[in-house]
Amino acid sequence: MKIIKRFFRYYLILAVFFACSKNSDDAIIPTNQSQELTIFHINDQHGQIANFSKIKYIVDEEKKLTDVLLVCAGDIFSGNPVVDNYPLKGFPMIDLMNSVGFDVSAIGNHEYDYGELLLNDRLSQSNFSWVCANVNTANSTISQPKAFKTFAINGLKITFLGLVETNGKDNDVIPSTHPWRVQNLTFEKFENSVVKYANLKESQQADILVALSHLGESSDFKLANTYPYFDLIIGGHSHTVTNQTVNNIPIYHAGSNLNNLGKIKLSIKNKKIQSINYQLINLNNYTNFDSTIKEKVDTYNANSSLDAIIGFSEAYHSKSNVGSFYTDVLRKQMNVDFTFQNSSGIRSDLNSGDILKRDIFTIDPFNNGSVTYTITIAEIKNFLQQTKIAIYYAGVNISQVNSTIEIRDKSNQLLNDNTTLTIGLNDYIPAVYDTYFTQTPTIKPYTTAEGIIEYLQNNPETINYSQVNSYFQYQ
């Protein structure tokens, strides 16, 4: 009887041990065994949602084989009117990321494009974690994101530290977004923030430490060389396909616009990566998909208001041609002498045929307001020369002769420095370059994209700027 009781007691102890081991994040794994983990990653999807059904299928298949984490390195918004012009801006993107099963995302610079209230709504909507170590939201309506997130998965601890770039303005430390939309936030250069986490791996008892970076490729190289705390860097912002090892730290970026899915297969032992295998999956060539996610994507895409025909393009327009079209139409809509647009604000080309609302919102996804100023030729020259901004323009002709900028009217008459022009532009430019735009602007009651749509709707002539390239940058 004693033997039976002793056996029963041992059986209970073993049963409790194995039950706890199965469900505990801290299950004991012998240190002489390697463990396998797959991390899937995307970055800079900019509102594109079509390939999420394929990601869901791929990730679910991998989960049948090993432990998996699915991560994003930021810039999930701004680029697809289905997402950016949804009644609740950005809602479809978060809904799909929730459904696909993302674990964590960095906060990219374009996450701030919608403003504080909407970003806070999207953060609250998310079932996944957000990380950013170099932002302080204490004076904002945005809930403070965590600097890092540690996942415990089958005995492994994986820590992700989030970082965002802060190159948005020469005389300020903000991301590359509209400055008026981050006025209540405080940012820190990543170099000043990351040093605070030199011992993060040890303090978290993490098996690997990952920088989930929205800094761009060159800054990730600097991060690896100067702050080698990390086992792995997963990045974004530069829209590059990156697969390099710098200072013994692997760095991966997956391009942009949800064209690719990065797959990192890791073998981890004694808190080190023993082996790593990387695959970049071209989602556009991949055929399998999750039908439930595809149905949800199709429902979001079936937005008839975006498919309203508002004009006709006689020819294909490259981005440079679109810049010329964009500024000339905006000049007419705003009834000004001169318009210009920062070249990076033109986000798409334009096909021949019917022009849809969807096309204009894709070309100009940022919901920037329209403003006008009265300014002299001398002030325009000084702005272009000092900032070296790359612009598309309309209403005048701009050229550089040696080190001198010449501005001529449409009759090719040289305009003297005292000549005054009315100029129209998006309000992002004077917000970033506020030392050059000190007047109080006249504010138009439409965004730049809405202004172009309104003009095309009211003026049915066909569009052809395929031979026009009104581009200037001071050299």
Burial of 5 (0-12, 13-18, 19+ CB in 10 A): exposed
pLDDT digits (tens, 9 = 90+) for 160-206: 999 999 999 999 999 999 999 999 999 999 999 999 999 999 999 99
pLDDT for position 303: 76
pLDDT for position 33: 87
The terminus-to-terminus CA distance of the chain in angstroms comes to 95
pLDDT digits (tens, 9 = 90+) for 364-387: 999 999 999 999 999 999 999 999
Name the class of domain 24-301: alpha beta
pLDDT for position 31: 52
> What are the domain boundaries of the chain?
24-301, 308-472
Cβ–Cβ < 8 Å for 94, 105: no
Architecture of domain 308-472: Alpha-Beta Complex (3.90)
pTM beyond 0.85: yes
Average pLDDT per consecutive 10 residues, the chain (475 residues; last block may be shorter): 42 40 41 89 98 98 98 98 96 98 98 97 98 98 97 97 98 97 98 98 98 98 98 98 98 98 98 98 98 97 90 98 98 98 97 97 97 98 98 98 97 97 98 96 98 97 96 98
